[in-house]
Amino acid sequence: MNSVQSQFPHSEWAYSDQDRAAYAELRARLERVAKSKRTVTYSDLVAGVQFNIGTVNDGQPYSIDVHDWTPLDRSILGDFLGALAEESYRSGGYLASALAVGAMEKQPTEPFFKWSKELGLLTDNSEQGRLAFWIEHLNKAYADYGA
């Protein structure tokens, strides 16, 4: 295990560990996007997904309102994307969360880059460094899912 892998939370995902069906659906959506060599907006990624997280919404199914994101919605999505990124990094050396982008930014938002830096993966935090890092992970995802 390399030093980056040792920094992952090791199954300490607050939401994604509680709902493996939603996790599998989000993974499948990312795979479809990668196979077509595209990205997906955060809103399109979660649209229509029913989250069954015992600690959210009194255990009732929960959907993210993609037109009115709340801090909880961002936390849920971030948790699932983090778990998916950990899985893809362990198996293929890339962050699958690079496939998900902000609608206006057309690239991952600040939490993606901040977390990548905290993990020691993103070493050049300049605009060019971030772009190169993102493209590297996109291309690895495209290659992995396209294989």
Query: What's the rounded Cα separation, in Å, for the pair 12 and 15?
Result: 9
Residue-wise pLDDT tens digits, 59-71: 899 999 999 999 9
**pLDDT number for residue 143:** 96
Query: What's the rounded Cα separation, in Å, for the pair 54 and 108?
Result: 28
Per cent of the chain over pLDDT 70 is: 92
**pLDDT number for residue 24:** 98
- Return contacts of 67-75, CB within 8 angstroms, 24+ apart: 73/46, 75/14, 75/15
Query: What's the rounded Cα separation, in Å, for the pair 134 and 126?
Result: 12
Where do the domains of the chain lie?
Answer: 10-146
Contact indicator for 42, 77 with CB cutoff of 8 Å: yes
Q: What is the DSSP letter of 18?
A: G
Q: What is the mean pLDDT of the segment spanning 136-146?
A: 94
**Range of lowest pLDDT (3-12, 17-26, 106-115, 116-125):** 3-12
Question: Does 2 have pLDDT greater than 60?
Answer: no
Task: Give CA separation, 37 vs 8, 68, 144, in Å.
Answer: 27, 28, 11
| Band of pLDDT at residue 94, cut at 50, 70 and 90 | very high
pTM flag (> 0.85): yes
Pseudo-torsion of CA 41, 83, 112, 49, nearest 10°? 20
Which are the contacts of 93, defined by CB distance < 8 A and separation ≥ 6?
Answer: 140
Q: What is the mean pLDDT of the segment spanning 135-144?
A: 97
**pLDDT number for residue 1:** 47
Q: What is the mean pLDDT of the segment spanning 117-136?
A: 95
Q: What is the mean pLDDT of the segment spanning 89-106?
A: 95
